Amino acid sequence: MMTSSGDVFVLGIASTPAGRFPGQTFFDLCRNAVIGAGNDAGFTALPVERVWFSSVLMDFWGQRACRGQEVLTPLSDEGVLPHGLCIQNVEAGCASGTMAFFGAVSDVLSGEAEVALAVGAEKMNHPTRPRQDILAWIEGTAGQLDPEYFYAPHRKLAAELDVSFDPGEEGRSVAMDVYALWAQAHKQAFGTTDQQIAAAAAKNHTNAVNNPRAQYRFPMTIEEVLADRMVTQPLTRAMCAPTGDAAAAVLVCSRAYLESQPRAVRERALPILGHAACGGRRWSLFEDDRSAARAAERAYKKAGIGPSDLDLVELHDATSIAEILLVEDLGLCARGQGGPFTKSGATAPDGTIPVNTSGGLVSRGHPIGASGIMMLNEVALQLRGEAEALQLPRARVGLAENGGGIIGHDNAVSAVTILGAPS
């Protein structure tokens, strides 16, 4: 019999704080996250049969192969994980964590495992190498292929907007320059203002004040966001997610396995109502076929719900213009209305659909390989009523959207997960 997403449950989930932790290794971060997820499910020894591991930058630190095996095998010697596990390594840019999670879910759906584990980890602050080396490492793929194939849509858009686009300029982030192009295009097409983009950033910085897992925990006003150092017009530093170190882990299980567990475990398990991932298209700018819109449509269909049924959303605001675009892609507002929708307060904790109550990537942090599972953790805390000072008064259905990479005017991959509250 074919199973559905709703037959798989989040059994345990945990995340470390994000920040600069020079004294902690990949193993230290992963150990904390895996043990945390086990404790969350009531286990000291995790009964997992398959593991999916995500990281983007372990290569930068010299670990080019078998990353998950190198990091997680010591946990078998400690008795935390079984010996001889099959560990799959996943890399999908900033969506790596969610794609690892989807791998674990697929193992349970297929019957390959009753319990599976996904782990995401990243260290983005090297003690001796400058931050620009990290950016070059992440964005270097274009140089291995035909860079002009990658840059052509951006050069064309820049010419139409009469703005510059110079990916070869030393010290620049191509990703931030592309997001800035999208911001300029959205402003020209729909009248979006810098104040509206800044409203998303100010909201998220303020939300993060009470989040003990957040990398930045200070409030900001719209005026302070706009006055911050310019990265690429119109994006200021406060509108861009910081680099950080963190790990996160999530245990998923089958319905049959869950039903065999004690009541205390069953009462905290979260049903996965729907999940979907879609690839990007090079020329999809402000169109309804953007990867996030297509992934959301599929996830809504699987869950049997629509955007109006959501109680909260955690989305991939690598920059604040991304939040403006994504509230449109997810169907929270009409195309082109993301700016005024956000500025109106609709996405605030007391708004009609709270978005990024955790602080989002711009404040919660963006440790690439861990980000997707971190976002799921924030949704899970809300749905369980365990978000403490961040807790929303009613949280029964939550969505997490995680995007990875850039292909033309779209993410290379967008992944959407819809979770339900414990029954």
Output the pLDDT for position 272: 98
Same domain, 249 and 351: no
Residues of the chain with pLDDT under 50: 1-3
DSSP string, 211-278: -TT-S------HHHHHHSPEEETTEEGGGBPPP-BEEEEEEEEEHHHHHTS-HHHHTT-EEEEEEEEE
- Distance between CA 89 and CA 263 in Å, rounded? 33
Say whether both 111 and 153 belong to one domain.
no
- pLDDT at residue number 122: 95
- Collapse the DSSP code of 128 into the 3-class scheme (helix H, G, I; strand E, B; otherwise coil) and give the result: coil
Annotated catalytic residues are: 94, 366
CB 370 within 8 A of CB 99: no
Q: Quick one: 357 and 300 in the same domain?
A: yes
- Closest Cα partner for 149 from 423, 418, 415, 407? 407
Res 124: pLDDT: 84
Predicted confidence (pLDDT) per residue in 100-153, tens digit: 999 999 999 999 999 999 999 999 876 666 556 665 555 555 555 677 888 889
Element (H, E) at 90: strand 86-90
Instruction: Report how far apart the first and last C-alpha atoms of the chain are (Å, whole number).
Output: 24
- Tell me the pTM: 0.94
Domain containing 120 equals 5-128+244-270
Residues 40 and 99 occupy one common structural domain: yes
pLDDT at 137: 55
Residue 374: which CATH number?
3.40.47.10
The verdict on 184 and 281 lying in the same domain is yes
36 and 184, same domain (yes or no): no
Would you say how long the chain is, in residues? 423
Interatomic CA distance for residues 404 and 343, integer angstroms: 26
